[in-house]
């Protein structure tokens, strides 16, 4: 089997400080983990809190600590350091080759999008938001070719809410997957969802937006690992 992943993100309109961060790491026992974090300090976006949370979680995962435990340790640490004035929304998706599963860890109620053989659905997070804040839920899925998992940030989930034009994520994903004979790549899926979210905010994102897509494919004879990064730079900065 092969794992492919893609990330698409954009900052809030007219904002220089990013509240979202996405980091990728290879797991010590095989596989990869992608951590998406969105931090706030005194109810304002905080890149410092965001980056600290993401990096500390990755460091623990690199040491072999399970995803859920890594998130709980870091969330508790941030809570104590900032006297409950800081909060972080954390989403982790891992391909764990030791257990041959996809593991998703979340401490927010924003749902997970999944697609399995052209059947797409939303997996709601039913836990109490206050309880989730420092005690994230962990979901485990058997590693099966054809699966697609999509994590989204709050900005994507709430796109269009200010203009009563709220994005329908299932409809958005379905319109892409049903269009044409060829399956879209993970990057095409991530880009499409992000573009639709931006469109629902009239081209001016009201919050940072991030989309993470992970897909399980049948085996490939190649053992080459590849990474691709596109990072636009504003010439005015």
Is 11 part of a structural domain of the chain? yes
Is 229 part of a structural domain of the chain? no
Name which of 50, 29, 51 is nearest 38 in CA terms.
Answer: 50
Q: Compute the distance between CA of residue 164 and CA of residue 167 in angstroms, rounded to an integer.
A: 9
Is 232 part of a structural domain of the chain? no
**pLDDT at residue 175 in the model:** 87
Residue 237 pLDDT exceeds 60: no
> For the chain, what is the domain count?
1
Is 235 part of a structural domain of the chain? no
- Put simply, whether the predicted model's pTM sits higher than 0.85 gets the answer yes
Residue 34 pLDDT exceeds 60: yes
Name which of 41, 28, 34 is nearest 4 in CA terms.
Answer: 34
**pLDDT at residue 44 in the model:** 85
Is 237 part of a structural domain of the chain? no
Is 224 part of a structural domain of the chain? no
Is 226 part of a structural domain of the chain? no
Interval 200-215: pLDDT, tens: 999 999 999 999 999 9
What integer is the mean pLDDT of 26-43?
A: 92
For every residue of 18-56, DSSP letters joined together read --EEEEEEE-TTSEEEEEEEEEEETTEE-HHHHHHHHHH
What integer is the mean pLDDT of 78-84?
A: 89
**pLDDT at residue 132 in the model:** 82
Is 82 part of a structural domain of the chain? yes
Give me the domain span that covers residue 128. Answer: 2-217
Would you report the helix, strand and coil content of the chain in percent, each value rounded to 5? 30, 30, 40
**pLDDT at residue 56 in the model:** 96
List Cβ neighbours of 114 (8 Å cut-off, separation of 6 or more). 120, 121, 122, 123, 147, 148, 149, 150
Interval 111-153: pLDDT, tens: 999 988 666 777 777 667 778 888 999 999 999 998 999 999 9
Question: Considering only 91-105, 126-140, 163-177, 194-208, which range has the smallest mean pLDDT?
Answer: 126-140
**pLDDT at residue 180 in the model:** 64
Q: Which residue has the higher pLDDT, 136 or 182?
A: 136
Look up the CATH number of the domain holding residue 208: 3.60.40.10
């Amino acid at each position: 089997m092969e794992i492919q992943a893609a990330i698409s993100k954009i900052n809030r309109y007219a904002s220089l400080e990013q509240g979202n961060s996405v980091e990728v790491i290879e797991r010590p026992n095989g596989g990869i983990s992608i951590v998406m974090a969105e931090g706030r300090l005194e109810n304002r976006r905080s890149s410092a809190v965001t980056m600290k949370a993401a990096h500390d979680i990755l460091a623990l995962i690199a040491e072999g600590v399970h995803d859920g435990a890594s998130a709980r340790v870091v969330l508790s640490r941030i809570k104590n350091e900032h006297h409950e004035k800081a909060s972080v929304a954390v989403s982790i998706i891992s391909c764990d080759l030791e257990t041959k599963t996809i593991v998703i860890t979340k401490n927010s109620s924003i749902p997970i999008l999944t697609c399995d053989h052209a059947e797409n659905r939303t997996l709601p997070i039913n836990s109490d938001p206050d309880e989730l804040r420092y005690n994230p839920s962990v979901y485990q899925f058997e590693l099966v070719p054809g699966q697609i998992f999509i994590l989204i940030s709050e900005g994507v989930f709430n796109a269009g809410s200010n203009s009563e034009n709220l994005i329908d994520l299932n409809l958005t994903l379905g319109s892409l997957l049903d269009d044409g004979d060829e399956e879209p790549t993970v990057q095409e899926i991530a880009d499409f969802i992000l573009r639709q979210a931006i469109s629902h905010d009239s081209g001016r994102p009201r919050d940072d937006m991030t989309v993470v897509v992970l897909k399980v494919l049948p085996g490939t004879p190649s053992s080459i690992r590849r990474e691709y990064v596109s990072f636009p730079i504003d010439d005015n900065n």
